[in-house]
A and B are shown apart, each in its own frame.
Chain A
Amino acid sequence: ETGVTQTPRHLVMGMTNKKSLKCEQHLGHNAMYWYKQSAKKPLELMFVYSLEERVENNSVPSRFSPECPNSSHLFLHLHTLQPEDSALYLCASSQDRYQPAGELFFGEGSRLTVL
């Protein structure tokens, strides 16, 4: 138990569907992140939120839309995805946005399959 909870753990969707991934952290952290983990690729940073403000959008297609209503919750809204978007989506939090040698606390991930 890392203090970061992601739902759903598994999601299968068609290319025309709209779905959302949810992340909640119980650590009192100020920064939250979305990462994409694909087979044979390093972890890719997608979005960074610090104190509910988006501070980084790592050239992510607009079919991914993040939302951070408060410092404990982070959503990733998905629409008109492509099969190549199938991956494990990991949420993480840290005390503050990246500090040297700062630790990231990851959730268990949401395994997304796009048909």
Chain B
Amino acid sequence: TQLLEQSPQFLSIQEGENLTVYCNSSSVFSSLQWYRQEPGEGPVLLVTVVTGGEVKKLKRLTFQFGDARKDSSLHITAAQPGDTGLYLCAGDEPPNNAGNMLTFGGGTRLMVKP
């Protein structure tokens, strides 16, 4: 199993601030996904990145996949209280008998205060 480390583990900021969270591994992934899990809910997919160096934007969220496909970052501009939640990255492991498997990072818990 390939390890995905997310940092920081916890982040508390004021509304309107910018932030970046990171997802790092020593292994290469064929693709990487970011999920957001709001309190009392299950994770919901935000984006999938598949190409080294790829940048994707989703409104105020910017996702980048590292050139070597070992790391990724999520930048949020002008954070809002609705951005509060647990941000999980997940990478595709090499295929085994059960097909490709996702490895999840430990998550970054973000709180945006009004």
Closest to B40 in A: A108
Interface of A is mostly: loop
Q: Which of B48, B97, B106 contacts A55 (CB 8 A)?
A: B97
Once the chains bind, are B99 and A42 in contact (CB under 8 Å)?
A: no
Once the chains bind, are B102 and A104 in contact (CB under 8 Å)?
A: yes
Given A103-B48, A106-B42, A106-B44, check contact A56 B92 (CB 8 Å): no
Given A42-B106, A43-B88, A98-B99, check contact A92 B48 (CB 8 Å): no
Closest to B49 in A: A101
Minimum CB–CB distance from B41 to chain A (whole Å) comes to 5
Minimum CB–CB distance from A51 to chain B (whole Å) comes to 12
Once the chains bind, are B106 and A101 in contact (CB under 8 Å)?
A: no
Interface size, chain A (Cβ < 8 Å): 26
Closest to A43 in B: B104
B-side contacts of A45, CB under 8 Å: 101-102
Given A106-B44, A107-B42, check contact A101 B101 (CB 8 Å): no
Closest to B38 in A: A108
Interface size, chain B (Cβ < 8 Å): 27
In the assembly, what is the distance between CA of A63 and CA of B33, in Å? 32
Q: Which of A42, A97, A100 contacts B105 (CB 8 A)?
A: A42
Once the chains bind, are A40 and B106 in contact (CB under 8 Å)?
A: yes
B-side contacts of A92, CB under 8 Å: 42
Residues of B within 8 A of A (CB): 4, 30-31, 33, 35, 40-45, 48, 50, 88, 90, 92, 97-107
Q: List 21 A-B contacts (CB under 8 A).
A: A42-B103, A43-B104, A45-B101, A50-B99, A56-B98, A90-B42, A90-B43, A92-B42, A96-B99, A98-B92, A98-B98, A99-B99, A99-B100, A100-B30, A101-B30, A101-B33, A103-B33, A104-B45, A106-B42, A108-B41, A109-B41
List the 7 shortest-distance A-B pairs measured between CB atoms, nearest first.
A106-B42, A43-B104, A101-B31, A98-B100, A98-B99, A56-B98, A55-B98
